[in-house]
Amino acid sequence: MSYLDVTKDVYKKAAETPDVGLCCTTSPIWQLPGLDMPSIMLEMNYGCGTTVNPRDLVNDPTILYVGVGGGMEVLQFSYFSRKKHGVIGVDIVDEMLDACQKNLTVASETNDWFKEEFVDLRKGTAMSLPIESNSIDVAAQNCLFNIFEKEDLKKALQEIYRVLKPHGRLVLSDPICEQEMPDHLRADDKLRALCLSGSLPLQEYLDMITEVGFGTVEVRAKRPYRILSPNHYDVKENIMIESVEVAAIKDPMPEDGPCIFTGKAAIYYGKEDQFDDKKGHVLLQNQPIAVCDKTAGDLGSLGNDDIHITESTWFYDGGGCC
């Protein structure tokens, strides 16, 4: 049985019997006016953060959600799109698609604004999406891609890139791990399926995202996720797993490499009104401006003693220039 089959089996069971706490983390569940979240969807929240952000959802987007789970985020996305087939949900597990459909029916009974036709559920795998090329504005996945081995992860990212329109975006939430994950845990298909041993270090994940072509990347949040401790796992020391929220935008790749925002800011505090690096970045006196890591590096390498570059906060919230 391949690890992908073990994964299907894990989520078949999680579809048939809700496994509260299977994933989930410290991020709050969206509360929105007029949105009544069925308790079954909360019990089947198998994500590790959120991928739903109103600022991604302007201009009547068509949304793809890969790995639907109990449908909580599918419903949240529908809240913003509110049109027939505005959200396409894809999952490989029949039982999960059935559970999601059933939960959406429950949601339609207590949410006047919601119609089941808003969601188009399709069977398919992340590695070969049943979706037309260049047709999606916002693609989301929560706590699925970390399960994939690197070759499959690459295929899944390439698939998302293929189906997105130019300037469309992938929004994701996934575990990451900066420590060396022991090989025997990586090779444990069940742990991998449970989102506990497949995760990569953040930089490696970001490299894979930009290697498929995404020209702009935002690291929006980073949170503690799980500890694999010797008390419960076959490890010599605690292994800390975090979860990240990332948006990857299908912008053209800049000649000097991708713009990756990790929450750095530059502040000019010299004697002039502003500092102009003549490369498109104007820093106004004592006003922080969000910069991507590349620009932060370029500004830092000027060696000016009147420009302060902050560390990455890993909480990038838009704005700034690169």
| Residues near ligand SAM (CB under 6 A) | 4, 7, 11, 23, 45-47, 66-69, 72-73, 90-93, 96, 125-126, 142-144, 195
Long-range contacts of 203-207 (CB under 8 A, 24+ apart): 205/174, 205/176, 205/244, 205/246, 206/246, 206/260
Instruction: Look at the alpha carbons of 125, 123, 8, 103 in this order and tell me if their dihedral is positive or negative.
Output: positive
Give residue 287's identity as a one-letter amino acid code: Q
Q: Which spans in 226-321 are helix H?
A: 293-301
> How many residues make up the chain in this entry?
322
Taking the complex as a whole, how short is the minimal distance between the CB of residue 14 and ligand SAM, in angstroms?
7
CA distances from 300 to 240, 244, 259 (A): 31, 26, 16
Tokens of 283: 């820093």
263-286 in b/e form (b: 16+ CB < 10 A) is bbbbbbeeeeeebebeeebebeee
- Rounded CA-CA distance 144/153 in Å is 10
Taking the complex as a whole, how short is the minimal distance between the CB of residue 318 and ligand SAM, in angstroms?
23
Would you say 121 or 144 has its CB closer to ligand SAM? 144
Taking the complex as a whole, how short is the minimal distance between the CB of residue 28 and ligand SAM, in angstroms?
14
For the packed helices 94-110 and 72-81, what is the interaxial angle rounded to 10 degrees?
50
Taking the complex as a whole, how short is the minimal distance between the CB of residue 312 and ligand SAM, in angstroms?
26
Would you say 100 or 239 has its CB closer to ligand SAM? 100
Taking the complex as a whole, how short is the minimal distance between the CB of residue 215 and ligand SAM, in angstroms?
26
- Rounded CA-CA distance 201/205 in Å is 6
Taking the complex as a whole, how short is the minimal distance between the CB of residue 271 and ligand SAM, in angstroms?
51
- Rounded CA-CA distance 188/192 in Å is 6
Q: How many CB atoms lie within 10 A of CB 122?
A: 14
Would you say 23 or 239 has its CB closer to ligand SAM? 23
